[in-house]
Structure 1
Amino acid sequence: MLNFRIDEDRCIQCGECAADCPAMCISLDNGLPEIHEKRCIRCQHCLAVCPTAALSILDKDPDDSRPLHKDSLPAPEKMETLLMGRRSVRRYKPDPVPKETIRHLLQITGHAPTGMNVRQTLYTVVDDPEVMNEVRAATLRRVKEVIEDPGLPKGLEIVGKYVAAGDKMGVDIFYRGAPHLLIVSSPHNGPSPDADCLIALSQFELLAATMGLGTVWDGLAKWAIARIAPDLRERLGIPEDHTIGYAMAFGYPAVTYYRTTQHDAPAINVVGS
């Protein structure tokens, strides 16, 4: 049930909820909104766009939502600095991130958009450094076993070189010593499983940076878990019918970056006059 309700004392009959509904399932009856439940995708656009907080859906109280106005959003210059200054961190302190902080990060990241608002994204997180050490050891052991027999999958032969280099230098090549790991997955049959996962991790990364945390997009971990030794995904509880979008190691950084980098201008294809 959608539990779509209108506070008639607050409703000014502006029609914004109907005009902005992506599923076009809201109509106006004598000026008041009505909803066609079967077409609703539960995006809550109607709740967000109502200027007087007159509309409730899914038992959500609009007064519990955070107000959106200029003062509640980051200044463009600060957002630019965050985007330009983010780094892939490969050196971490052993200190664990409080579990409450991790839960809060994931709760906010859960607002990331998904295709058709299916919201089937699964956040698999290792929040205990001791468990992370078990995952670390199991990953290295299993990948080495596969290297010996039957051999790495075609196209991933380079992983063997990374493993050898990591052994030689005493470096955790798969997780870079991070105390935590986040893997985002989504059902194969969803409208956009890969994109949904990458969008979520992008938002997690930026929010984590504002809390003083470092992150690294962990392609080696994704290869290990999704393609080289898929039994690891069972150990992590990732469903077989899920696409693993990507993995991200994170924690408190043991390195400080003092300035943004200066990349060349991107390739831009302008379509128009």
Structure 2
Amino acid sequence: MGKRSGLLAPLPRDARLMVPVLAATGGAGRSTVSYLLAAELAHAADTVVLDTGPRLASPWPGWVGEPGGGLSALPPAQPLSRGAVRAACAVMGGPVPWQALTDVREWTAQPLDLPSEPAAWHQLAAVGGWQAAVVDSVFPLAQDLLTARCAGTTGRARGWFEVPYAVPVLCAAASAEGVQALQQAVMAMSAEGLALHRAVAALVATGEGRPPAVVRAAATMLSGRTAAVVHLPCDSGVRGSGLRAGRVQPRTQQAAAQLAAAVLSTAHDAWGDPLPAAAQPVPLAASSVPLPFPA
């Protein structure tokens, strides 16, 4: 991705930062933000992206560099070792390599029954031993909150806010419709008492030039409710060649570095600098109770 615009202080080896990338609607740039953020965090931490989306709706299978076994290589209802989890990951290129865990099988393969519970993905990140895990989510925020309230359940949005050491990134397209959807989701999250002071907003431009007035006004509102607001520019190189080609414009990389710095600063404000040690999973014998991560 070229020359970096800044330096990030390295995370302690025993830290574990979870960064769920969430959005109110589709088309908000979640996967692009996840990719750019992971590439920047890799300069400060051993980093992975966890792709929670179905294979045929996800761009990650087409972005991976050196593919690993993929999610299908993690057997259901069996104990998982650190080596097995890491071997399932694809190695992503760049000045500092990082990893991505996605479904790399052919499109005709039977769909995997992936877990929706954030705790299962958090547990997978713990077994893998990464310092930073960026989670590319697929569900709409406000709809999830409303469904959970009506059903009397926790919901995925609350689950991601409540996993240990989580700094959610809230994505929206920098358009009238995009920021309106995010503002509505933020109001719903505020009503549900979610920790918005630990969330960072990322507004992804859909065209060249200065953001529209409605987007600038939304950014002002969001800056009063979230830890930070970062604007990501429209990148013709990414749109024309895709992220796998690595043709990211300098200003895009600068914005990604700002986003990574905002995430780390938010984590330090919440839990201290350096980050405290995270809980480590106890090694399991072959006869032990299996981890609840179904395939």
TM-score by length of 1: 0.22
Of structures 1 and 2, the larger Rg is shown by: 1
